[in-house]
Structure 1
């Protein structure tokens, strides 16, 4: 097993701004029920990064008072949302500024790169391929790769170990409280991005570091992963 350090990344809201395409999928579900577009692609970005079910619940909560939704509407619409999203996974999604340069610099420094996301694995694989960066990562663990998902520490451990690294010499790059809880449960440092939908508000979670731009990441990795 390699003794090199490992940098593990979340996907949505960390490597890429996926909110508009996620919300488009949720709105497609709402339109199919005659409710129109209930979520805004910019104003509701924070909801999008909490997952498909969070978007559906938020949308249902905004439906007119006389709307009659069938029992189990969320369970019925969730797989449909994933299908809609699969069909338009990279229409508006863009990598955050500096991602590719940071990945190149980390690789040049000898770091192992991996992904741990609560996005279904097949969708994460498809998105990163569409964005042209899937080959940068030695492993990818998604929401359905294991029976558990973040913030359980096991997906994180799997993402590190499947990439050939060791948890003791790794850290997580994320954007939500879930990522912070994952890192704490795994006993590793975490940096949360300060340019996602939370903006400076991410500081309320007290991460070990706030990443204001991806240009800062290689130096942080050299500091945190030094032998």
Structure 2
């Protein structure tokens, strides 16, 4: 019997860190501050969201007290605008994604995306990466009044894909994904090829995914 595999997006399906950091740095440059974040060294911060990147950059300024009140609120829409215009400049799918999605579909599983990226940006990115049509549903940060780790977006993604929560699991890359799965009462696998590498095992997921080649077998094991 088929089940539903729900994917996080950033850091799970694709390495989006460089383009996210680029959008934050564009905001810093507009204030004459230069590039305050490094696309490699700060990749983990990128997956914490736009506001987290802005706060991290501001915090590195020796004269951050000179920032005007409301700088984060002013810069966040600018960050999103820059990111939307440069959403797939450096972003790449992780190795094996397309083959794994094809294999899961061939096994009869439904596929869904549940991400804390705004829905419109998530659609745009998946379109540019050429895999949007692989997913029966997509729930973003602004699709519902709540976002992950609240279980509602996960459950909505499964329902919109035509699946059942009890026959689903989540593939992600952060503690937010682990908490989402726990709240929804499903298993979670975390990828070990993201910025944190094998260190992600510290979160105690139900499984670690070392390569997308291993995902179809994991799905058969958990959803059979």
Interval containing the TM-score (normalised by the shorter chain): over 0.9
Q: Deviations over 1:85-139 (max 9, x none)?
A: 0010000000000000000000000000000000000000000000000000000
TM-score (norm 2): 0.99
Map 1:52-63 → 2, pairs under 5 A: 52-63=50-61
Quote how far apart the aligned CAs of 1:67 are. 5.4
- Separation in structure 1 between the aligned mates of residue 71 and residue 159 of structure 2, nearest angstrom: 38
Q: CA 1:215/1:183 → structure 2, altered by over 3 Å: closer, same or farther?
A: same
Mapping of residues 49-198 of structure 1, within 5 Å? 49-65=47-63, 68-198=66-196
Query: 1:72 offset after TM fit, Å?
Result: 1.4
Structure 2, unpaired ranges of 5+: none
CA RMSD of aligned residues (A): 0.8
1:32 aligns with 2:13: no
Counterpart CA distance in 2 for 1:67 and 1:167 is 48
Shift of 1:185: 0.2
Give the alignment's TM-score, normalised by structure 1: 0.97
Secondary structure of the corresponding residue to residue 82 of structure 1: helix
Aligned residues: 224
- Return the offset for 1:4: 2.5
Gaps of 5+ in 1: none
